[in-house]
Amino acid sequence: MSTIKLALEWFMNPDHLPMIAGVASGAYEEKGLKIEIIAPDEHYDGFEQIKTGEIDLHCNEPLHLFEHYFDGLKSMGCFFETRGGVMIKKERVEKLKNNQHIKITTPAANDVTNKIGFEILKRYAQKEGFELERENVEFVETDFWHLNNMKKDESFDGAWLCFYNFEGIEAEFEGFENIFIDQHISPYPNFSALEFMTTDKVIEQKGEALCKFVEVTNEMAKFCQQNVEEAKEIFYSYTSEQKSELMDKIIEDTIPRFNTDIKADKNKWSELNKFLVELELVKLTDEQYDSIWK
């Protein structure tokens, strides 16, 4: 039995259903794999753990492949992709268009995420024919509960780092009127996805086990897509999440977004890499970029 330690990017949620189903159903075990799923304390914990060899696999948004690049870091492919971006309350859109001060709730307010969040808004503004100044957009670090934060604190005009399969669906469910500024209405490359990452060393030591992991994860994504109701029950049972109509809708929207043919793809995130270079957030050489996918 080969053990694979997989660190998630955040708390366990429907984005991770293929792995949850693989563990809960025994599908990984049937292939001789013991999968340990680890939820982090902080979003970037997995990068340090994979660098030091504490874990074998990490999943996180693809932009962090470049932001946290180190020699030996490898992509194993994208297993989930959604729409993502900035949600603005409908009644606050005029404030945005008038270049007034707006306040944005986000689970991570730092130089990188703030710069990307503003760039998304700035590009939207340029496309719509108005100007937006950086000093008029304030990012405030809170937590993941975007809609709750915007409802309980009227000073918040919007939220950043939103995934449509969560916040978009929740807004629809609650009748929370908003404009969801994603890659379809602001010209920037999408990065609201989850990529499996490992290292040269783990591939050398556990290459066969990793191939089996990908094979089973593909099968479990297909299983979830073909058995949505059963997938819901697996999620509730495994996570002890309380069953709800909202979570049902989130799961229903999430499942079709799983990739059933996971593989490293050098071209998939090339525009994202250029976007981050343009913002002076990363600066990988061509050789470093290429090394991630070899």
Q: Are residues 124 and 147 in the same domain?
A: yes
Q: Are residues 34 and 76 in the same domain?
A: yes
- What is the percent of the chain where pLDDT is above 90? 93
Per DSSP, the three-state class of 106 is: strand
Residue 237 tokens read as 């049972």
What is the amino acid identity at position 135? E
Determine the Cα–Cα distance for residues 102 and 192; give it in Å rounded to an integer.
Answer: 23
pTM over 0.85: yes
For 224-243, write each residue's pLDDT tens digit.
999 999 999 999 999 999 99
On whether residue 266 sits in a domain, the answer given is yes
Determine the Cα–Cα distance for residues 210 and 212; give it in Å rounded to an integer.
Answer: 5
How large is the average pLDDT for residues 250-274? 97
Residue 157, CB half-sphere, CA atoms under 13 Å: how many?
17
Number of domains in the chain: 2
Q: Are residues 253 and 112 in the same domain?
A: no
Q: Are residues 66 and 205 in the same domain?
A: yes
Q: Are residues 69 and 97 in the same domain?
A: no
What is the amino acid identity at position 206? K
- What is the percent of the chain where pLDDT is above 70? 100
Residue 14 CA to chain centroid, in angstroms? Answer: 12
On whether residue 57 sits in a domain, the answer given is yes
Q: Are residues 226 and 153 in the same domain?
A: no
- Among the three residues 116, 149, 181, which one is the final residue of a domain in this structure? 181
- Which own/partner contact pairs does 264-268 have at CB distance under 8 Å and 24+ positions apart? 264/74, 264/75, 264/76, 264/77, 264/292, 264/293, 265/75, 265/77, 265/78, 265/293, 266/290, 266/292, 266/293, 268/62, 268/78
Cβ 294 vs Cβ 200: under 8 Å: no
Q: Are residues 207 and 286 in the same domain?
A: yes
On whether residue 263 sits in a domain, the answer given is yes
Give the CATH number, domain containing residue 119: 3.40.190.10
On whether residue 186 sits in a domain, the answer given is no
Inform me whether the pLDDT recorded for 43 exceeds 80: no
Q: Are residues 74 and 93 in the same domain?
A: no
Q: Are residues 198 and 267 in the same domain?
A: yes
On whether residue 255 sits in a domain, the answer given is yes
For 18-32, write each residue's pLDDT tens digit.
999 999 999 999 999
For 100-136, write each residue's pLDDT tens digit.
999 999 998 899 999 999 999 999 999 999 999 999 9
Determine the Cα–Cα distance for residues 252 and 1; give it in Å rounded to an integer.
Answer: 33
On whether residue 53 sits in a domain, the answer given is yes
On whether residue 187 sits in a domain, the answer given is no
Q: Are residues 25 and 77 in the same domain?
A: yes
- Among the three residues 156, 181, 206, which one is the final residue of a domain in this structure? 181
- Among the three residues 154, 181, 208, which one is the final residue of a domain in this structure? 181
Query: What confidence category does residue 42 fall into, taking pLDDT thresholds of 50, 70 and 90?
Result: confident
Could you tell me the residue range of the domain that residue 176 belongs to? 84-181
The CA–CA distances, whole Å, from 249 to 169, 171, 241, 281 equal: 7, 11, 14, 36
Query: What confidence category does residue 46 fall into, taking pLDDT thresholds of 50, 70 and 90?
Result: confident
Q: Are residues 114 and 254 in the same domain?
A: no
On whether residue 31 sits in a domain, the answer given is yes
Query: What confidence category does residue 40 fall into, taking pLDDT thresholds of 50, 70 and 90?
Result: confident
Q: Are residues 10 and 56 in the same domain?
A: yes
Number of H helices, E strands in the chain: 13, 10
Residues 6+ apart with CB under 8 A from 275: 188, 189
